[in-house]
Amino acid sequence: MPKANPRHPKFPIPGGPELRARGWRQEALLRLLENVLSVGEDPGNLIVYAALGKAARSWAAHNGIVKALTEMEEDQTLLIQSGKPIGLVKTHAKAPLVIMANCNIVGQWAKAEVFYELQRKGLICWGGLTAGAWQYIGSQGVIQGTYEIFMRIAERRFGGDLAGRFVLTAGLGGMGGAQPLAGRMAGAAILCVDIDPERARKRQQIGYLQEIAPDLDTALEMIDAAVKDKRALSVGLVGNAAEVYPEIARRGIVPDIVTDQTSAHDLVYGYVPKGMSLDQVRELREDGQGQLMAASRASIVDHVTAMLDFQKRGSEVFDNGNLIRTQAKEGGVSNAFDIPIFTEAYLRPLFARAIGPFRWMALSGEESDIARIDDLLLEMFPDNKIITNWIRLAREHVPFEGLPARIAWLGHGERTMLARRVNALVVTGEMKGPVAFSRDHLDAGAMAHPNIMTERMKDGSDAIADWPLIDAMMLCSSMADLVVVHSGGGGYAGYMTSCGVTVIADGTEAADERLDHALTNDTALGVMRYADAGYEEALDEVMKKDVPYIRLG
């Protein structure tokens, strides 16, 4: 039976042994759709995160998807175009159950204003990365990536430890809400600014944010005390980052680390300009989009100028993937890209080995299933410090949202090994239900985004989008259960293309085959992508793990 959801009472958390669909594969995808709404920011409007990232285009489309998933056979494939079910075609039992494409606009037309017009006409919706592909697991899906960034910075600049260090950031939405907990887990004193008091309260209620300061003076006093005591602390402040950052800089305070995860990618539905209330912004979203975009960009100019000021004074400053540098440059900040992107600055050596954010969801709804997989990870990878450290921290600090789930950075071969072992546990009944395996779209072979994932690639291949398209076609050939190709919407329009995948471990031999082929080939392509760009780590992985990369010359 579904479980009550105190955050969104109308959107219960799925779970239980009863099936509404004609098989566990179909039921699994249905539960994942239900789950992204149960943990979403605004599920009543089908919005999961990032201002516009939706699970389906409309409620009629949502209901059509649900109907198809409950009625379809295993030898059929549901086709979804930008969140709308289009057809249910006859394929075969080894074909994907769902193939979807969200928000892919032809190059010369892939602009924010075209997207907004198509959205108004009801012809398109943005799936974010994991929102429209029903793979989002709440803020914890971002926590480990943010934590790993902080720890890479700690290793590089602060002797491996962030105790006694001040982190300044902004944004407490569906993605940014992971930051206060990740910072605290890394040992830092972290101040998180957000314009929306409700977002701050939500993060505090679920345990991601410890304190909410009544004003900037109090917030800085709390941070200063924690820094002096070398005590981990997360503090929220309701305010506009475009005003708060410059004020902190004016006072001569230099944080150790500065970043931002506001919805700066979207100047209409995401970012809130300084001097405007949330109500004023909502009124302008329909009839004053041009005014709103100009005001948002002007505020981002001040916001990023302050970040650059911190950088000059010695702060470690980075872009966390929200296009804030891009918006600032278009607003006239010529050196906005002096701020590095997190992927290139800290994580590329991991991605070159196809080590990235792998995730799994307990479809039973039982936390004990995740606990059993935690034990399995510690047993299988005892010498992998990234894994063992993360699992122990996650068990202590990361609360579940929606379906119990976990994320861990696993690489080529490791993902397949884990998934097949879990499938065997489903067979023996040690798991109380099947498990869905997925990953973030920000993965080695799965994304082309020249201002985030593929910025400054070694061979200059930043803007080539062939890789996620090859990945999607390959995953269809590799028997994955769900395959999706996403491109950017809103302010991300024209900036990115990505591929997502989900495979269900339902305890069958067929699932074992699907997991083996899909997960192995997915990470193999990631290694190939970086090997082809000339990264030594990837070429080493090719040799060590016998990746079938064709090297010319």
| Same domain? 315 vs 380 | no
How many structural domains is the chain composed of? 2
Say if 325 falls within a structural domain. Answer: yes
Which token pair is 503?
């495979």
Does a structural domain hold residue 246?
A: yes
Q: What's 444's domain CATH number?
A: 3.40.1770.10
Contacts of 518 (CB under 8 A, 6+ apart): 475, 478, 479, 480, 501, 503
Rounded Cα gap, residues 126 and 443, in angstroms: 19
Whole-angstrom distance, CA of residue 408 vs CA of residue 516:
18
Helices 509-532 and 466-477, interaxial angle, to 10°? 160
Based on DSSP, count helices (H) and strands (E) in the chain, helices before strands. Answer: 19, 17
Task: Show the tokens assigned to 456.
Answer: 């400054």
> Alpha-carbon dihedral of residues 444, 362, 475, 122, nearest 10 degrees?
-90
State the DSSP H helix or E strand holding residue 166, giving kind and residue range, or none if neither: strand 166-170
Give the type of residue at 404. Answer: P
Residues 6+ apart with CB under 8 A from 99: 77, 78, 79, 80, 476, 482, 483, 484
Q: Rounded distance, CA 164 to CA 233, Å? A: 10
CATH number of the domain where residue 310 is located: 3.40.50.10730
Supply the range of the domain harboring residue 301: 142-340
- Would 321 be classed as within a structural domain? yes
| Predicted confidence pLDDT, tens digits, the chain (553 residues) | 788 898 889 999 999 999 999 999 999 999 999 999 999 999 999 999 988 999 999 999 999 999 999 999 999 999 999 999 999 999 999 999 999 999 999 999 999 999 999 999 999 999 999 999 999 998 888 898 899 999 999 999 999 999 999 999 999 987 888 999 999 999 999 999 999 999 999 999 988 999 999 999 999 999 999 999 999 999 999 999 999 999 999 999 999 999 999 999 899 989 999 999 999 999 998 888 889 999 999 999 999 999 999 999 999 999 999 999 999 999 999 999 999 999 999 999 999 999 999 999 999 999 999 999 999 999 999 999 989 999 999 999 998 999 999 999 999 999 999 999 999 999 999 999 999 999 999 999 999 999 999 999 999 999 999 999 999 999 999 999 999 999 999 889 999 999 999 999 999 999 999 999 999 999 999 999 999 999 999 999 999 999 999 999 7
- Residue at token pair 């892939």: 110
pTM: 0.92
Q: Are strands 211-213 and 356-362 parallel, antiparallel or unpaired?
A: unpaired
**What is the reported pLDDT for 1?**
74
C-alpha distances (whole Å) from 211 to each of 153, 193, 232, 360 are: 24, 12, 12, 30
Residue 43 lies in a domain: no
Q: Which two tokens stand for residue 264?
A: 């700066």
- Which residue in 507, 502, 497 sits closest to 479, CA to CA? 502
Domain membership of residue 462 (yes or no) is yes
Residue ending a domain, choose from 340, 367, 393? 340
